[in-house]
Structure 1
């Protein structure tokens, strides 16, 4: 089992009809800005443990479990709206870092939230690190009829039970699943992650701590013009980090490319890029020391 170097502690904040679980590392107060870590889709805040362990300097760090993930709980829902993550983050910062310009790191979906939030509340962000938060392919208005129909059909599938997540016989089974998804993930890290990514139910089956309703496609199309308006409104310096494996190309098969992503980043007034070598999409698992170094060097620059 992976040996944690910097143990975390938990808090729960009642907020927006939810009990929001937040993981904490470091002191309760620090002369450095609070560092907020946002996890990706079907992930949890604890996913950042390896990167936190690799950070050289002590500071206050918080990582929430997004609604419908991890240990954050609330009333059942049958779909999620992306804008809710922005409101959730705003209220979390009001509670944990009131009046403070924070340093923000987001991975994948969390990176997309971070970029959007920094455009909505630019005064709340001092510096931003986006780990493979690429956004989505551009859409056209004439795609709307099929998108709404798809959304309705998937709602029906969810309620019929067709979207249930697979369960596992043991923590080891969850770890094997994680290593199959990410061949670079070592067994000790996979075993540790499995204990935070899933938990046993009353029958002893290990269930993923993610709501199946997250699998439902958004009813709204991804509006590139809106996204670029948000990018233009970001005032914080941004470091956009990608892995050496082209996960974007693997996902979208030419429908959306790294070249297009880099073009979008030109709309951010102060943005630089970096690459983590020998890594895929879960770069903070594959190369936590590289990721930690990039984060600290960027946050500490004058």
Structure 2
């Protein structure tokens, strides 16, 4: 049975975002946030399996069917947090829960740390605190980012000769995904152009961030989160492996419920068994007393 998915346009004071909406109108309010260069379709498998929730899965600015930011404006992580707050205002949700994958998990954590009174529950998939930088490295990082921004104007988007080739490119991206996952994301993220298909995502999304928080600043956000937190970690995801020692150190300081599940970074989208495992975890979490 195909789930009933509504398309929604959120006309915010500063930008217009697109979203896919799942679940009953009287369900518990949830804003779902996707990862970097993905879109709302990342929840195509998971959202229909979550019970009693009214899920608004956003396309972040510059992603999917949402507007791009104006010329000269960057895509800083904290600006996504502002977008989510404005989306909640548009929906007239004073309090709500957040489901976030990867970058979306980071945005959700920053929001819950900054405005803990607004977030009721935080469900994270293979993402937790933002990337950090030592203070003394900030000037060089800023300079490199400025140069990259100036060079981007000379580059042109890749045009793939057909839909299949574009899907294959996404399968083998920085974080690999299954064929079906890539097809879900491509259906919402590709645009037909002369000569083939190009991804809708704003090219500025590939630029390095000009500034990053220090480790101490990032942990301050995480420690200020007041709501219950459920963190799903993928066995073959980005939090384990080379980053495991750092991740272990972070979660040892936090009162988060951590569940490790088999699968890759997109375990909630790659296949039905992975989506079912994540749904089972989040259904129990979202409706716990």
1:296 alignment partner, one of 272, 276, 283: 283
* Structure 1 residue 208 displacement after superposition: 0.9
User: What are the equivalent positions in structure 2 for 1:144-293 lying under 5 Å apart?
Assistant: 144-161=138-155, 164-181=156-173, 185-187=178-180, 189-201=181-193, 203-248=194-239, 254=242, 257-268=243-254, 270-277=255-262, 279-286=263-270, 287-293=274-280
Cα distance in 2, alignment partners of residues 234 and 274 from structure 1:
19
Cα distance in 2, alignment partners of residues 115 and 273 from structure 1:
15
Distance 1:191 1:8, change over 3 A: same
Distance 1:121 1:136, change over 3 A: closer
Distance 1:151 1:192, change over 3 A: closer
* Structure 1 residue 105 displacement after superposition: 0.7
Stretches of structure 1 lacking an aligned partner (at least 5 in a row): none
Contact 1:39 1:45 in 2 (8 A): yes
Contact 1:178 1:185 in 2 (8 A): no
Structure 2 counterpart of 1:124: 118
Distance 1:246 1:133, change over 3 A: closer
Question: Does residue 1:15 correspond to 2:12, yes or no?
Answer: yes
Cα distance in 2, alignment partners of residues 157 and 184 from structure 1:
29
Give every structure 1 segment of 4 or more consecutive aligned residues whose post-TM-superposition deviation is greater than 6 Å: none
Q: Which moved more, 1:174-183 or 1:33-42?
A: 174-183
Structure 1 counterpart of 2:31: 36
Contact 1:132 1:241 in 2 (8 A): yes
Contact 2:7 2:20 in 1 (8 A): yes
Contact 2:177 2:266 in 1 (8 A): no
Distance 1:16 1:292, change over 3 A: same
Stretches of structure 2 lacking an aligned partner (at least 5 in a row): none
Provide the secondary structure at the position in 2 that maps to 1:242.
strand
Contact 1:132 1:243 in 2 (8 A): yes
1:59-86 deviation digits (Å, cap 9, x = unpaired): 3110111111111114334522221111
Contact 1:139 1:222 in 2 (8 A): yes
Distance 1:21 1:29, change over 3 A: same
Alpha carbon RMSD of aligned pairs, Å? 2.1
Contact 2:234 2:260 in 1 (8 A): yes
Distance 1:199 1:58, change over 3 A: farther
Cα distance in 1, alignment partners of residues 131 and 80 from structure 2:
20
Contact 1:231 1:267 in 2 (8 A): no
Provide the secondary structure at the position in 1 that maps to 2:246.
helix
1:152-210 deviation digits (Å, cap 9, x = unpaired): 1101111121xx442212222222223334666144x5334321121212x15211121
Contact 1:168 1:205 in 2 (8 A): yes
Normalised by the size of structure 2, how large is the TM-score?
Answer: 0.90
